[in-house]
A and B are shown apart, each in its own frame.
Chain A
């Protein structure tokens, strides 16, 4: 049998024998960023549609967690940097070809906006709240008056945030598993699905819960469709991408991916949500936790498996 044996004398830490440069911080951030994008997307969507009062959970209640999860995500990103004291260099330049530069600037914009969003809805949680400072009161009045404009800015930024988490990976042609443009829409859909699931927890009216359960089922179906397309694309591509897909179709990542991401993170919660719509009694947090778990696992598995996929030469 004809064989090719490649021996390399290189043994750089975190690079050989296979790349392991990004650890838990990156997939955790990608999950939190996607979740934040999902919640802010629906919050601003229902403001734009003028249905704020019907969807109080989405517009007023759920966004309270967004600044916190964004800050945890930013903390994780900071921990990932190896030259930490120089992090501010991100904000000395705008590099249009670098997804990470896009991400850094988007976070710079969306984090304060998420805080503003929580601030103008603070009375939802503290009904008697009054801003004591005159400037804060004026700002509060200004943003409340221009809420639809704020919602438009937020919805655009949330889509960029959601889609960039996937593009960050897909821009690397050195890692064949990541090098597919499906990853952007897949991560965006997964983030929206996680956001919709989280909103179900905050929804107070039966109607809102039902609407978001339906949205979530629809998003899960789209996700499954994108995943199938991703593997079809890999199987029809070059040898390195066939090898990348094989990690999930019989290789090392087969069991974790299909069990944790597809079955437990998508199919089971979708079935539970369907049963709920048929008036079966299902504790609401079970499908929600499963969707969030699946979304997190998707990022972890794609991140680690992608670093193992490579060109051989």
Chain B
């Protein structure tokens, strides 16, 4: 089992519904976010192209955050999801520093927090909160080992990229281009 997500940059309009859904679902403290919108404008004026992406933790196969954690609070769970156990976390900040995507933050309660792919929802057979609310249906979630999952099918059909693959992290959030 290998959970992954695909985000269609051609469909995402940057409405930030995913951000609000995540904050509500996961009780994210005010002023913080586990997922966010990035807009990249590229080209020579007036020939400009805009790419809009909904970003979050990439649940990397080779996670620097899991590697550098001194207590084992950062760990993999089934399906390759990277999680933090709050009562094992000492709040040293090593994992926050180690993430090339800056996907983690220090929760006001002291421990380090991040996207969990809503694994509590997955266990109930639901989609992650961000995926389920997207008004343009630009996100796909599922098991890469299952050829019939939505994410496998869309990655077979479309061209895609990952973020900073040269960092060697093997990210598992794919961006359809």
- The residue of chain B having its C-beta at the shortest distance from the C-beta of A105 within the complex is B70
- The residue of chain A having its C-beta at the shortest distance from the C-beta of B105 within the complex is A12
Shortest A62–chain B CB gap in Å is 30
Closest 5 A/B residue pairs (Cβ): A82-B91, A83-B91, A83-B110, A10-B36, A100-B70
Given A81-B92, A311-B167, check contact A21 B38 (CB 8 Å): no
Residues in B whose Cβ lies below 8 Å from that of A10: 33, 36, 38, 55, 102
Residues in B whose Cβ lies below 8 Å from that of A19: 96-97, 102
Among the stretches A91-99, A108-116, A129-137, A284-292, the one at the interface with B is: A91-99
Q: How far is the CA of A175 from the CA of B95 in the complex (A)?
A: 12
Among the stretches A166-174, A200-208, A224-232, the one at the interface with B is: A166-174
Q: How far is the CA of A127 from the CA of B28 in the complex (A)?
A: 62
In the complex, whether B125 has a CB less than 8 A from a CB of chain A is no
In the complex, whether A146 has a CB less than 8 A from a CB of chain B is no
A4 interface neighbour in B31, B40, B90, B99, Cβ under 8 Å: B40
Q: How far is the CA of A1 from the CA of B31 in the complex (A)?
A: 36
Residues in A whose Cβ lies below 8 Å from that of B129: none
Which residue among B42, B70, B91, B99 has the maximum number of chain A CB atoms within 10 Å of its CB?
B70
In the complex, whether A15 has a CB less than 8 A from a CB of chain B is yes
Residues in A whose Cβ lies below 8 Å from that of B41: 3-5, 7
Residues in A whose Cβ lies below 8 Å from that of B71: 89-90, 92-93, 95, 101
Interface pair A83/B89, CB less than 8 Å apart: yes
Interface pair A313/B19, CB less than 8 Å apart: no
Q: How far is the CA of A84 from the CA of B43 in the complex (A)?
A: 48
In the complex, whether B135 has a CB less than 8 A from a CB of chain A is no
In the complex, whether A9 has a CB less than 8 A from a CB of chain B is yes
Shortest B111–chain A CB gap in Å is 5
In the complex, whether B25 has a CB less than 8 A from a CB of chain A is no
Interface pair B94/A86, CB less than 8 Å apart: no
A101 interface neighbour in B14, B70, B111, Cβ under 8 Å: B70
Residues 105-132 of B at the A interface (beta carbon under 8 Å): 105-106, 109-112
In the complex, whether A16 has a CB less than 8 A from a CB of chain B is yes
Number of residues in B with C-beta < 8 Å to the partner? Answer: 51
Residues in B whose Cβ lies below 8 Å from that of A87: 90
Which residue among B43, B64, B73, B100 has the maximum number of chain A CB atoms within 10 Å of its CB?
B100
Shortest B99–chain A CB gap in Å is 6
Number of residues in A with C-beta < 8 Å to the partner? Answer: 48
A interface residue numbers (CB < 8 A to B) = 1-16, 19, 21-22, 80-84, 86-87, 89-90, 92-93, 95, 97-101, 103-104, 171-175, 238, 307, 310-311, 313
Interface pair B164/A311, CB less than 8 Å apart: yes
Q: How far is the CA of A6 from the CA of B42 in the complex (A)?
A: 9
Residues in B whose Cβ lies below 8 Å from that of A80: 92-93
Q: How far is the CA of A174 from the CA of B166 in the complex (A)?
A: 11
B110 interface neighbour in A82, A103, A307, Cβ under 8 Å: A82
Known: A82-B106, A95-B70, A174-B102. 18 other contacts (CB 8 A): A5-B41, A5-B42, A12-B32, A12-B105, A14-B105, A14-B106, A15-B102, A21-B96, A21-B97, A83-B91, A86-B111, A98-B70, A100-B92, A104-B70, A171-B98, A172-B64, A173-B168, A174-B97
Residues in A whose Cβ lies below 8 Å from that of B112: 82
Interface pair B64/A173, CB less than 8 Å apart: yes
Interface pair A98/B69, CB less than 8 Å apart: yes
Interface pair B164/A171, CB less than 8 Å apart: no
In the complex, whether B13 has a CB less than 8 A from a CB of chain A is no
Interface pair A93/B97, CB less than 8 Å apart: no
Residues in A whose Cβ lies below 8 Å from that of B110: 82-84, 86
In the complex, whether B68 has a CB less than 8 A from a CB of chain A is yes
Shortest B16–chain A CB gap in Å is 6
Interface pair B36/A3, CB less than 8 Å apart: no
In the complex, whether B138 has a CB less than 8 A from a CB of chain A is no
Q: How far is the CA of A31 from the CA of B117 in the complex (A)?
A: 40
Interface pair A83/B97, CB less than 8 Å apart: no
Render B74-96 as a binary contact track against A, CB cut-off 8 A, 1 for contact: 00000000000011111111101
Q: How far is the CA of A22 from the CA of B97 in the complex (A)?
A: 9
A313 interface neighbour in B37, B91, B97, B164, Cβ under 8 Å: B164
Residues in A whose Cβ lies below 8 Å from that of B92: 80-82, 100
